[in-house]
Chains A and B, each alone.
Chain A
Amino acid sequence: MHAEKIMLAHGSGGTLMRALVEDVFVAGLSEEALSRLDDAASLTIPGSRIAFSTDTYVVTPHFFPGGDIGRLAVCGTVNDVATSGARPLYLSMAVILEEGMAIQDLHRILESMRAAAREANVHIVTGDTKVVERGHGDGIYINTAGIGVLRPGTDLSGSYAREGDVVLLSGTLGDHGITIISCREGLGFEADISSDAAPLAEMCAAVLEAAPDTRCFRDPTRGGLASALNEIATASNVPITVKEADVPVKPQVKGASEMLGYDVFQVANEGKMAAIVPEEQAEAALAAMRGAPYGSDAAIIGRVAGNMPGRVYVETAFGATRIMDMLVGEQLPRIC
C-alpha cells in the first residue's frame, strides 16, 4: 500500500481497491472471516432468536480523547444490540471514504475498531468500501450492523416499566458529548474530560443474570438520558422521577454544560447504560453493574413514580421538582 491519501480509484473495483481492502482493512482488522474476501460471511448462530441493529457514525473530529470514530462504530452498535438483552456476536461494517483522506488515519481507525471488537468479544465478518469525491463526505463515515443472540425467555421493552420500579445508571453523564463539543469548538475542556465510548454487553449480561426481571436497558446516546427516560415513560405510560443529587456527573462536565447552556441530561453518552429493574432486584442489579467493566460509578438515580404518567421529573436537592425535558432541535450554545 504505497498511496498516502484515498483516491477515487480506491473505490473503482480494480487493483487499487483490492490493495486497500487487503492491506488496510483485512490486515488492520485481522478477522479470519474477512480475509477470505467472499461476498458474504456464513455464520453459526446458537439458538433461534437474534437481535439485529444498525447505526451510522459521522462524528467529527475523527479522533478525540477517549476514542475515535472507529471505537464508536463498534461500541455503539454493540450497545444497541446489548440493550435488547442479547449477546452481540457479529458486526458488519461499511465505510464511505472521502477522496483525499489520509490512509494513515484509516489505519488508526481500523486498529481502534479491531481493539474495540476484541474487547467486546465480537467479530467483524463482512464489509464494504466506497469512495466519494472530495467535498462530498467528511473524511470517513462508518456504518455498522450487529447481530446478537437472545437467551430463551429474554424479553425486554421500554413499555414494561411499572410504578415502583427503580432506575439505574451505570456511570457519569455527559462525558462524550462535552468532549466532542469541546474538541470541535476548541473550548479546551477536553484536557480534563474524555469520551466514555465503551462496549457494555458484558455489563448488560451481568445485570440480567443478577436481576432476571429487568424491564429494559437504554443506552443514552444522542438526546442523552432525557430522551432515554422520556421514551420509557411514554411507552410504559408511567411517570419517572430522578433525584438530581444521586445522578453521577463529573464536576468538569457540569461546569462545561452550564457554561454552554446545555442540560447535562440531554448530552450524549457512548458508554453508559440506564436500566429499569423491579425494586426487589435493584440492589443486586446495582452490584452487578458496579462489578462489570465501566460500571464502577453506577448508581440508583430514581424511581418509576411521580405526578403525571408519561412524564419524567427531576427532584432537586432541596426538594423542588421540574420536568426533565427532551432536546428540541439542535443543541445550540447560548449568548451569555
Chain B
Amino acid sequence: MDLPAFRDPKVARRLIDAIHSTFPGHPIKIMEVCGTHTVSIAKSGLRTVMPEWVTLLSGPGCPVCVTANRDIDTAIALGRLDGITLTTFGDMMKVPGSSSSLSAEKADGRDIRIVYSPLDALDLAQKDPSREVVFIAVGFETTAPLIAAALIRAHDSGISNFSVFCAHKTVPGALDALVNDPDVEVDAFMLPGHVSTIIGLSPYQFLADTYRTSGVIAGFEPVDILQAIWMLVSQLEQGRAEIEIAYRRGANADGNEHARKLMERAFEPADAEWRGIGVIPGSGLNISQEFSALDATKRFTVSVPRPREVKGCQCGDVLRGIVLPFECRLFSKACTPEHPVGPCMVSSEGSCAAYYRYTDLGKTGGADAR
C-alpha cells in the first residue's frame, strides 16, 4: 500500500513549521514506546528538523530489546532439547542471551527456524509430527492476538506437537512503570498506533488523569509522527494533558474487541521481567489454564543458570530514556551492529541501532551530538 498523503513533503513542511511555532515555554522530552516509531523517526531524519527544545526519546518499545536475558536463555535451553524445532520471528535471532544467541545455536546445529507468523509454526508442526515445534512468543498487544489464534487453532484441531514459550508483554504496564520511575523525565508520550488498534484508548487514560502526562496515538509515516508531535506540543503549550488520537485511519477509542477476546481466552496477565527495568507487575502475558497443555515451559523442563548481564551495557537506561544511545560509553566503540553488546544495538528496532545506522553519531561516537 502506498500512502502518498502521509508522505507529502508539503504537509510535512507545514507541520514542521507549526511545531517550531508552538513553543511551550520550556524544553520538552517526548518518548515513543514503539520500535516502529523508533525506526521511522531515525530513518526519516525527523530529529534533524526538530526545534532545539524538542528531544525525542525512545522508550521500551522494541519487543526484542525488552526481552529479559532469562527468557532468551530459556528459549536457547529449549532449543537444545532433543527433538525440538524452535520457531521465532527473525528479529530474535541475533539477540545475545547470557552466553549464546539463537543464531549461534543454529550455527551449532540446533533446529531453529524463522517464521513470519505463529500459524506458520503450527503448519510446520502439522507437517512433521515427529518434531516438537516450539514457538517463541515475544512482542506486545500487536502480535499477541496472532499467538492466541495459533493456540486456539492448535487446541481445537488437537495438534499435540506444538507449544508456545510465552514472553509476551503489554504496553500500559510499562508506561505505568515509567511515569513512576523517579529517574525518568518525560513530558509526553507518543503512543503506539498498532498496539492501540487492538487495545483502544482507555488503557492509557491513567497517564492524563493520574499523572497529568500527555499522550497521542501515532501512525508510522513521517507525516503521522509530525502530526502527533504537533498535537503533543500543542497540549503542552495550552497546559492540557489528554490522550488523543493522531492515527484515526488505524486506531479508534474502542480498539478491536474481537482481538482482545482472543487474547483474554488464551492468556492471563502476569508479572513480567523487562530488560533494564526489572519486574513490572501485571505487564506480561502467561498462557491461560485452558491452554496450559500448549505451554512450552510446562511441557518441557529446562534448567537455566542465573542470567548474566554484560558489564557496562546501558541498554536498561537507554530503554528508559535516561541516557541517549550515544551517551552510553560502549556506543560505537565496544558496541556496534557488527559486534553488538546489548539488544538495543542488535535489533533492527533498537534505538542504539537506529542512532548508529541513521546518524553521523555512529562514526563520531557522539562527538558532534547536539
Give A contacts to B, CB under 8 Å: 185, 187, 245, 251, 254-255, 261, 263, 307-308, 310-311, 314, 316-323, 325, 328-329, 332-336
Contacts and interface: CB of A to CB of B under 8 A. Distances in A.
Q: Which 9 A-B pairs have the closest CB atoms?
A: A320-B45, A332-B90, A317-B9, A318-B12, A322-B45, A328-B337, A325-B357, A322-B358, A318-B9
Contact of B89 (A307, A314, A322, A335): A335
B234 interface: no
B9 A323 contact: no
Contact of A316 (B45, B138, B364): B45
Contacts of A333: 89-91, 114, 116
Contacts of B44: 316, 320, 322
A325 B363 CA distance: 11
Most central of A251, A263, A307, A321 by chain B CB within 10 Å: A321
A320 B48 contact: yes
Most central of A310, A317, A323, A333 by chain B CB within 10 Å: A323
B9 A335 contact: no
Given A317-B9, A332-B91, A333-B89, A323 B360 contact: yes
A334 B64 CA distance: 10
Interface string B115-127: 0100000000000
Contacts of A245: 9
A224 to B, nearest CB: 14
Q: Main secondary structure on chain A at its contact with chain B?
A: loop
Given A319-B49, A335-B90, A336-B142, 12 more contacts: A255-B1, A263-B43, A311-B360, A316-B44, A320-B222, A321-B45, A322-B45, A323-B358, A328-B338, A332-B91, A335-B35, A335-B64
Interface string B357-370: 11110111000000
A187 B116 CA distance: 10
B63 interface: yes
11 contacts: A316-B9, A318-B49, A319-B13, A320-B47, A321-B48, A333-B89, A333-B91, A333-B116, A335-B92, A335-B138, A336-B139
Most central of B13, B45, B47, B90 by chain A CB within 10 Å: B45
Interface of B: 1-2, 7, 9, 12-13, 16, 35-36, 39, 42-49, 63-64, 89-94, 114, 116, 138-140, 142-143, 194, 222, 337-338, 348-349, 356-360, 362-364
Given A328-B337, A332-B91, A254 B138 contact: no
A270 to B, nearest CB: 23
Contacts of A318: 9, 12-13, 16, 49, 222
A263 B89 CA distance: 18
Contacts of A311: 360, 363
A308 B90 CA distance: 33
A323 B359 contact: yes
A80 B88 CA distance: 37
Contacts of A320: 44-49, 222
Most central of A187, A318, A320 by chain B CB within 10 Å: A318
Contacts of B13: 318-319
B349 to A, nearest CB: 6
Contacts of B94: 329, 332
Contacts of B359: 322-323
Contacts of B89: 333-335
Contacts of A314: 45
Contacts of A334: 35, 89-91, 348-349
A251 B356 CA distance: 28
B192 to A, nearest CB: 10
A274 B343 CA distance: 35
B12 A323 contact: no
Contact of B194 (A187, A316, A322, A336): A336
A78 B270 CA distance: 59
Nearest to B45: A320
Contacts of A325: 356-358, 362
Contacts of B16: 318
Contacts of A185: 116
A229 to B, nearest CB: 15
A85 B364 CA distance: 36
Contacts of B47: 320
Nearest to A329: B94
Nearest to A262: B348
Contacts of B93: 332
Contacts of B45: 314, 316, 320-322
A264 B94 CA distance: 21
B46 A261 contact: no
A261 B348 contact: yes
B222 A308 contact: no
B229 to A, nearest CB: 13
A251 B142 contact: no
A316 B2 CA distance: 16
Contacts of A335: 35, 63-64, 89-92, 138-139, 143, 349
Contacts of A328: 337-338
B138 to A, nearest CB: 7
Contacts of B90: 332-335
Nearest to A263: B43
B70 to A, nearest CB: 19
Contacts of B356: 325
Contacts of B92: 335
A311 B64 CA distance: 29
Contacts of A307: 360
Most central of A314, A322, A329, A333 by chain B CB within 10 Å: A322
A317 B12 contact: yes
B2 A255 contact: yes
A318 to B, nearest CB: 4
Nearest to A185: B116
A180 to B, nearest CB: 15
Nearest to B361: A323
